[in-house]
Chain A
Amino acid sequence: MVTSGNTHEMSSPPHLHISPPKKWIPVNLRELWNYRELLSSFMWRDVKIRYKQTALGFLWAVLQPLLMMLIFSVVFGRLARLPSDGVPYPLFVLAALLPWTLFAEGITRSTSSMITNAHIMTKVYFPRLIMPLSGILSPLVDFAFSFSILIVLMVLYGFIPTLNIIFLPLFILLALATSLGIGLWLSALNVQYRDFQYTIPFLIQLGLFASPVVYPASLVPESVRFFYGLNPMAGVIEGFRWALLGTEMPGAMILVSVGMVVVLLVSGAFYFRKMEQYYADVV
């Protein structure tokens, strides 16, 4: 009954072709860009909901690293007397806890996001990558809050950052990239094998001690430093300290870390894209 006179004015409507799953498909960056508003909606939702009905609200974002810093300072700084590259231990550990928490929260949230949002993702289409991306980016808000603690602490210690600080954004980016690379793998795997959600808390604890959070990387023997860099967070954390506190510049280690991140990102993206075609049938 509707005649052709009613067709839209658009000269050439967007064409969408749907076909059976392919083995490997690259990330469609243009599509992701078109969905950027949705990405910010999800991030904004997560931030908004996170501290709803808590008495302290966003104070939690500050309290968590602050308490961790206190505990670590007492246990590892005072009792175990771990070296800290000549920086006051609380500052030393907080400068590592910030990127570490950004990373750990990122992989935790991105992995669980694929499951907790299944009711949405099985009802409406959007690039599935949006989901882990929002999980990785939303901890940035907490990061910003806890960063203020670091600034306060630096002022208290009378610590003046060097010019290296201009490189800090690069290391934040590297932390996010690491988080995304590992997050993509874990979220894709977790959709099919829920085992991964149980291994993550353990992986994070293990990673905390496998990364130079409570001790300096200089404690690691020079000969294995290269392999140590295979843990990309090692490079990120040492980079953070170098940029913020002016500790020794991480040399080849950082290149190894960057290389590792690239490998994780590319492989993770391909694996994720492969999995997402089966997402609704598997989740």
Chain B
Amino acid sequence: MSDNPAIRVSHLGKKYTIGGPQEKYRTFRDAIVNSAKAPFRRLSSSEPPQEFWALKDVSFDVEPGEVVGIIGRNGAGKSTLLKILSRITSPTEGTVDLYGRVGSLLEVGTGFHPELTGRENIFLSGSILGMKKREIDSKLDEIVKFSEIEKFLDTPAKRYSSGMYVRLAFAVASHLETEILLIDEVLAVGDAQFQEKSLGKMGDVATKEGRTVLFVSHNMAAVNKLCPRSLLLHNGGIIKDDSSKEVIDLYSNQNSILKAFIDWSQKTNAPTDGEVIIVTSISILNRNGISNSTIYAEEPFWIVLEYEILKPVKNCWLGFSINTYNNDVLFFSGDFNFSNLSDNKRNPGKYKSMCKIPENLFNQGTYSISLLCQFPSIKILFHEENVLNFEVLTLTDLIGSLKQPGIIRPILNWDTIKISDKS
């Protein structure tokens, strides 16, 4: 606790009620019906509304000029915290004191209107973010230059490409000059070149200009680079408040949601068809042969399946799919290819299959593994979805420390030859 913090959060909590009278969207009729029912409520045995604490007993101080990262999984309470600090929603309990003008960037392009021109949007979005007209006037040239849209300044934004739109929006937002800045992962926008530029700008904003910044991000590399200190949120509480390196390490090792190993050898719930095959374990092994749910994109890793064959069987295909966070299947892979179905006999016994996933295949992100066993084109024996989850981090990224767009991130060979001297 310090004497002159820029931000002091004490015992902050935010409760949402699900399914109760505070239902998110309700009609007047419901309210009338509810109030008519109220006298009888005690008699009826309707389910009590469920309470959900998005934040609970969160306290911390931020010194003036400090840049603090806030990390945690989806639903950990990061956005709720930022929304309370930026006064978009009110807390259920606890207090916040902010000393200084507060600006919040919770998305890129707040208040942009497609019918208005670039110039008009700069003024509109700027004033919505809290800038004075005089302030915008004086920064107009800088904003326009940064966004690289000089030629289209007086064109309606609806004619812009999405890249131009985002660049302009970021340019406006990044020129917000308040003592306290709350930022929710608005960084990774635009093409690679602009991303680098915007990260550089964020670095300036955060450090050189000496203001207090809270920065919510999933991008560990960016947090590590921009924020000396970080808070790790989990289930609505702060579980670590330390140097970013320490916090990111803990976050990476936290296996609460990520799972790198399942042992079914006790045979309860083991994936099986009950006749031919029973899977006893599945694990993700890193380069050092240690089961780990955090994989570095630059290193290969292995998916290892152990199973028992119960009776002689032919063409029993055991494999997995790797899926994105949104449950889109990236690919399937199994212990043999469908093209040679003739020689895949297995006799009873214990088996271990290892599949090597090459380096530089995945991009940064969270992925899940589903297990599948089948007689190809004949019958699916079992399909266990999302048995393991892992996270891919990048050690060194190609462009600054930002996430490249895309689900996969292969490193491809390019050959460039000069054909002629003339242009």
Contacts and interface: CB of A to CB of B under 8 A. Distances in A.
Interface in B98-155: 98-102, 104, 106-107, 110-111, 113, 115-116, 120, 123-124, 127-130, 132-133
A69 B175 CA distance: 50
Interface in B327-384: none
A85 B207 CA distance: 72
A14 interface: yes
Interface in B38-53: none
B124 to A, nearest CB: 6
A53 B129 CA distance: 27
Interface string B65-86: 1110000000000000001111
A125 B130 CA distance: 9
A215 B110 CA distance: 47
A193 interface: yes
B423 to A, nearest CB: 43
Nearest to A39: B127
Interface string A23-51: 00000000000000110010001001100
B239 to A, nearest CB: 23
Given A2-B67, A2-B207, A49-B115, A18 B26 contact: no
B87 interface: yes
Interface stretch (B88-96, B265-273, B307-315): B88-96
B200 interface: no
Interface string B26-38: 1111010000000
B19 interface: no
B299 interface: no
A194 interface: yes
A20 B90 contact: yes
Contacts of B123: 41
B24 interface: yes
Interface in A238-265: none
Nearest to A21: B90
A125 B104 contact: yes
Nearest to B211: A8
A7 B211 CA distance: 7
Contacts of B210: 2, 6-8
B127 A37 contact: yes
Interface string A95-138: 00000000000000000000000001111111000000000000
Interface in A55-96: none
Contacts of A13: 6, 99-101, 179
Interface in A137-156: none
Contacts of A48: 115-116, 120
A45 B110 CA distance: 14
Given A18-B90, A37-B132, A4 B63 contact: yes
Interface stretch (A160-168, A171-179, A205-213, A274-282): A274-282
Given A195-B27, A280-B89, A16 B98 contact: yes
Contacts of B26: 192-193
A4 B89 contact: no
Nearest to A193: B28
B228 interface: yes
A195 B28 contact: yes
A10 B25 CA distance: 44
Contacts of A279: 89
B90 A14 contact: no
Given A48-B120, A125-B87, A38 B97 contact: no
B88 A15 contact: no
B400 interface: no
B16 interface: yes
B64 interface: yes
Contacts of A121: 88
A107 B295 CA distance: 57
A10 B106 CA distance: 26
B329 to A, nearest CB: 32
Given A20-B93, A124-B110, A7 B116 contact: no
A224 interface: no
A53 B265 CA distance: 69
Interface string B212-231: 00000000000000001000
Contacts of B116: 45, 48-49
A194 to B, nearest CB: 7
Given A2-B210, A195-B29, A124 B115 contact: no
Nearest to A50: B115
A124 B99 contact: no
Given A19-B95, A123-B110, 16 more contacts: A8-B210, A10-B179, A13-B179, A17-B95, A17-B97, A18-B95, A19-B91, A20-B90, A20-B94, A120-B128, A123-B106, A124-B110, A124-B129, A195-B27, A196-B28, A281-B16
Interface of A: 1-4, 6-8, 10, 13-21, 37-38, 41, 45, 48-49, 52-53, 120-126, 189, 192-196, 277-282
Question: What 8 A-B pairs are tightest by C-beta distance, nearest first?
Answer: A6-B210, A193-B28, A18-B96, A125-B87, A13-B100, A280-B89, A195-B28, A2-B65
24 contacts: A1-B207, A2-B65, A6-B210, A7-B64, A7-B210, A8-B64, A8-B210, A18-B85, A18-B96, A18-B97, A19-B90, A20-B94, A37-B133, A41-B124, A41-B128, A45-B116, A121-B88, A123-B104, A124-B111, A124-B129, A125-B87, A193-B27, A194-B25, A195-B29
